[in-house]
Amino acid sequence: MKLWDKGFSTDKKIDHFTVGNDRELDLVLAKYDVIASKAHAKMLGKVGLVSEDEAKDLVKTLDAIAKDIEKGNFTIEDDFEDMHSKIEFMLTEKLGDTGKKIHSARSRNDQVLVAMQLFLKDELTEIKTQVKTLFDLLMKLADKHKNVLLPGYTHLQIAMPSSFGLWFSAYAESLVDDLYFVQAAHKVADQNPLGSAAGYGSSFPIDRSFTTAEMDFATQKYNVVAAQMGRGKVEKATAFGISSVAATLSKMAMDICLYMSQNFDFISFPNELTTGSSIMPHKKNPDVFELIRAKCNKIQAVPNQLIMIMNNLPSGYHRDLQLVKEVIVPALQDMHACLEMMTFSLKEIKVNKSILDDPKYDYLFSVDTLNELVKSGMPFRDAYKTMGKAIENGNFKPKRDIEHTHEGSLGNLCLEQIKEKMEKVLA
């Protein structure tokens, strides 16, 4: 069954190619098609395109379909093109001609749009919750380990003293930046496109403000052509949001993989969070973090994938847009998994409290030792040359009792201020 069936069928090869994996993906989105269909049915009753009783019957049957979806009993057989055709079939099977009226004043185009935007709103809300959970954990770890020093690097060369307080809270504050992008994507998704039909509106006297309120959208995409042009754009906005989060997680996963290495030995995890080798009995591999790194790098490619699908398409609907679904849905699933596993694993992290006892880290303190010369009155450039000669001649004696006091330094992490930034972005 196809919503556009006119009494003839397409070639099976054409059908297979054009449907693709829509049925599988639509199982994820079916819940949202039902939510939108309920709002649409109520609106049809409100404006008189169906009777009050017909509207109630449609809503009641849609509620039953929603329960089937929730229980995992909803399927889309090969006889159906997508979730829309299966749901309309179920309505018609139960209600007869009343079920056939559900499609009045809408198109499959705005059905897909509204279902996807409702889905993305929920997904982005869940991602914000997961990011906040990870943020809270990082801030807790930063406070717990704020006095434990570790090397800071530039060019992967020993540079200056850092601390686990700085390291953990750096990633926490980076997540605040990421949520600016996620919030922007949520705002783009939070505009009701239902009623734009195929992209040019309808001659029926529909009430789009009613469906906007019914589905809890902040506003509607007023211009019907602009609503249709949002297809793919909202997915791209979402992709930029999650790719920002993914970049932070990927970088942290890389740090963790380095720091777990025996050459660094800064951190460790319990055996149950690592994997082994088939031939090397000593191995404790950071597979979880390597996979987080790889999955997050894949996620960072998603905006470009969507750009390549949509680039230079003129206004109006084009079947190319069907492919954005198969890009964004798996990316969101990977994002949820990576956030969950990063939080789950970091709860068990163990830090090495005596890293800098090793004399190979003495040069970390060259800048602090140099600064003492400047404080005593020596011009900075002269102090720099003096310190350089001492290092070259092997006469360097590090000043290890360092004191960093400015905002954001290892001695003044400003954790409360960072928490306030997070609270503001989520407000």
Closest listed residue to residue 26, CA positions, set 320, 329, 332, 231: 329
Instruction: State the distance between the two ends of the chain, measured CA to CA, in whole angstroms.
Output: 46
Lowest-confidence range among 23-27, 59-63, 142-146? 23-27
Q: Does the pLDDT of residue 260 top 60, yes or no?
A: yes
Strand 350-351 relative to strand 267-268, pairing: antiparallel
Measured CA angle at 308 (ends 217, 335), to 5 deg: 55
Q: Which fold has domain 108-355?
A: Fumarase C; Chain A, domain 2 (1.20.200)
Q: Give me the pLDDT at residue 12, please.
A: 57
Q: Give me the pLDDT at residue 5, please.
A: 53
For the chain, percent of residues with pLDDT exceeding 70: 94
Do 237 and 189 touch, CB atoms closer than 8 A?
Answer: yes
One-letter amino acid for residue 237 of the chain: A
Q: Mutual orientation of helices 233-260 and 287-300 as an angle, nearest 10°?
A: 150
Count of positions (residues) in the chain: 427
Confidence of residue 337 (pLDDT cuts 50, 70, 90): very high
Do 74 and 68 touch, CB atoms closer than 8 A?
Answer: yes
Q: Give me the pLDDT at residue 277, please.
A: 59
Closest listed residue to residue 389, CA positions, set 360, 358, 366, 359: 366
CA distances to 10, 118, 178 from 122, rounded to whole Å, are: 36, 6, 17
Q: How far is 139 from 152, CA to CA, in rounded Å? A: 19
Confidence of residue 272 (pLDDT cuts 50, 70, 90): confident
One-letter amino acid for residue 389 of the chain: K
pTM listed for this prediction: 0.92
Q: What is the pLDDT of residues 91-118, one digit of tens each?
A: 999 999 999 999 999 999 999 999 999 9
Q: Give me the pLDDT at residue 4, please.
A: 42
Q: What is the pLDDT of residues 152-162, one digit of tens each?
A: 999 999 999 99
Q: How far is 256 from 341, CA to CA, in rounded Å? A: 13
Q: Give me the pLDDT at residue 48, please.
A: 97
347, with CB counted inside 10 A (0-12, 13-18, 19+), is: exposed
Q: Give me the pLDDT at residue 78, please.
A: 84
Q: How far is 84 from 116, CA to CA, in rounded Å? A: 13
- On whether the 12-101 domain is CATH 1.10.275.10, my answer is yes
**Tokens standing for residue 354:** 């005596």
Q: Does the pLDDT of residue 172 top 50, yes or no?
A: yes
Q: Give me the pLDDT at residue 284, please.
A: 81
Report the 10 Å Cβ neighbour count for 100.
12
User: Would residue 399 be called left, alpha or beta, if left means φ above 0 and alpha means ψ between -120 and 50 degrees?
Assistant: beta
Q: Does the pLDDT of residue 123 top 70, yes or no?
A: yes
Measured CA angle at 386 (ends 381, 392), to 5 deg: 125
Q: How far is 224 from 192, CA to CA, in rounded Å? A: 10
Q: What is the pLDDT of residues 368-425, one digit of tens each?
A: 999 999 999 999 999 999 999 999 999 999 989 989 999 999 999 999 999 999 999 9
Per-residue pLDDT, averaged over 27-45, amounts to 97
Closest listed residue to residue 123, CA positions, set 290, 329, 319: 329
Identify the sign of the CA torsion 391, 397, 400, 406: negative
Buried/exposed code over 233-251 (b: 16+ C-beta within 10 A; e: otherwise): ebbbbbbbbbbbbbbbbbe
Per domain, the residue ranges of the chain are: 12-101, 108-355, 359-416
Closest listed residue to residue 109, CA positions, set 410, 275, 322, 372: 322
Q: Does the pLDDT of residue 281 top 90, yes or no?
A: no
Q: What is the pLDDT of residues 53-85, one digit of tens each?
A: 999 999 999 999 999 999 999 999 988 888 999
Strand 191-192 relative to strand 219-220, pairing: parallel
**Tokens standing for residue 101:** 């009226």
**Tokens standing for residue 411:** 């001695």
Per-residue pLDDT, averaged over 211-232, amounts to 97
Q: What is the pLDDT of residues 287-328, one digit of tens each?
A: 999 999 999 999 999 999 999 999 989 998 898 998 999 999
